[in-house]
Structure 1
Amino acid sequence: MADDEGASPRELILEACRRNNISLLEDTIEDLTKAAKKAGKKSTEYVAETLNHAHDGLGNGCLHLAAAYGSYEVLDILLDQEGLEIDEVDRMERDTALHRAVRYVNSLDKSEWESVGQPIVDILLDAGCDPRIRNKAKLKPIELVDPRNTELRSILQKGEYAIMAGDDIVQDDDGPTGSGSDSE
């Protein structure tokens, strides 16, 4: 009888994302970790797999919901999970979590843009979300920004530049103190 078992881990994760409920999310991740160890599986992979497959009926993943509801603390925990897919697109609009975050900021009162909304976009960009991805309407997140919100537009532009610059950087194996010559 499934009714006696209560909500599944995926349902709990999605609920935590909607309500910014960090204790529910942390408890669920802890339960998943214990279940993985009990089953002889790698806990980080098991947790990531569960998070990556947690979708609502419309195809929204956990990051989509957390971004859409402005659940900053939950996003912070989710983005710390190894193996989490950060640029997943939803089924309906082909939006990423970054698209959803911009829509969330647009839904706020202008007085809340900087203090409440922009940290949601910042944390996603800091985690490596790609602001160059286009949705079903062929729009990047920056193209969804309220035209009056020049600060958010600037944040997303910097995010695009950072990713493009990162694509052009070749890492040196010697590190900052290593020799610039092959002969030592």
Structure 2
Amino acid sequence: MSEIGASHKEQILEAARRNNTELLLQIKSELSNDDVKLSELINTTKEIITNNSPLHLACQLGNWEFIDIVLDIEGVEIDPKNRAGETPLHLAVKYTNEEPEHGYFMIDNLIDAGSDPRILDDSKLKPINYIKDNAKLKELLESAEYAISLEHQIDIEEQEDEEDDGPSDSDSDN
């Protein structure tokens, strides 16, 4: 059977596995360059056994060109979980153990795109727990975790300030 009869779901998984950006862009064109349809296709397509999304596959294999295009598609879930509860970031860290420089570059971009390094997989491990002897990558993930915790602290303080600044009961009596 030829590739011609493959569904968009099969094609997007193949594009992720092979870093085939031409196929990815062809699918995008067939979907009328509609980011909503394309993000829905990417978000709902999973491998049967592993439940890996196209983004999982590309991160696991270090397929940066595919990842780069996907990160620019509005609405794509950046932290979906596979059957083991791993996010694409977990798999990118594992890839980085074999390819430190390329993997670091990918992870830096995943974090810039909003990937959350605090997510635990089913083994209760964060991506940082999979690092083998890579101080630079460990520092990157620790910094990202710290930045996210600061953002949440600021959000909480702003909410508390808004509540304090709201009208009180005595103000409404006048």
| Secondary structure, counterpart of 1:64 in structure 2 | helix
Which of 35, 38, 51 is the aligned partner of 2:42?
Answer: 51
C-alpha separation in 2, matches of 1:20 and 1:132: 27
Asked whether 1:138 is paired with 2:130, we answer: no
TM-score (structure 2 length as normaliser): 0.83
C-alpha separation in 1, matches of 2:148 and 2:107: 15
Deviation at 1:3, TM superposition (A): 7.5
Question: Match of 1:66?
Answer: 58
CA 1:33/1:167 → structure 2, altered by over 3 Å: closer, same or farther? farther
RMSD: 1.7
Deviation at 1:5, TM superposition (A): 5.3
C-alpha separation in 1, matches of 2:3 and 2:18: 24
Structure 1 segments unaligned to the other structure (5+ residues): 35-42, 171-184
TM-score (structure 1 length as normaliser): 0.78
C-alpha separation in 2, matches of 1:167 and 1:31: 40
C-alpha separation in 2, matches of 1:75 and 1:169: 31
C-alpha separation in 2, matches of 1:23 and 1:5: 15
C-alpha separation in 2, matches of 1:4 and 1:47: 19
C-alpha separation in 1, matches of 2:24 and 2:4: 18
| Secondary structure, counterpart of 2:86 in structure 1 | coil
Q: Which amino acid aligns with 2:136?
A: E
C-alpha separation in 1, matches of 2:32 and 2:57: 22
CA 1:4/1:157 → structure 2, altered by over 3 Å: closer, same or farther? closer
| Secondary structure, counterpart of 1:33 in structure 2 | coil
Question: Match of 1:15?
Answer: 14
C-alpha separation in 2, matches of 1:4 and 1:15: 10
Deviation at 1:161, TM superposition (A): 1.2
Larger Rg belongs to: 2
C-alpha separation in 1, matches of 2:3 and 2:109: 38
Structure holding more helix per residue: 2
- Check the 8 A contact 1:64/1:100 in 2, yes or no: yes
Deviations 1:16-74 (A, max 9, x none): 1111111111111111226xxxxxxxx32221111101111120001100100101111
Question: Match of 2:26?
Answer: 27
After TM superposition, where is structure 1 displaced by more than 3 Å over at least 4 residues in a row?
A: 2-5
Q: How many residues align?
A: 154
Structure 2 segments unaligned to the other structure (5+ residues): 156-174
Percent of matched pairs sharing the same residue: 43
CA 1:11/1:4 → structure 2, altered by over 3 Å: closer, same or farther? closer
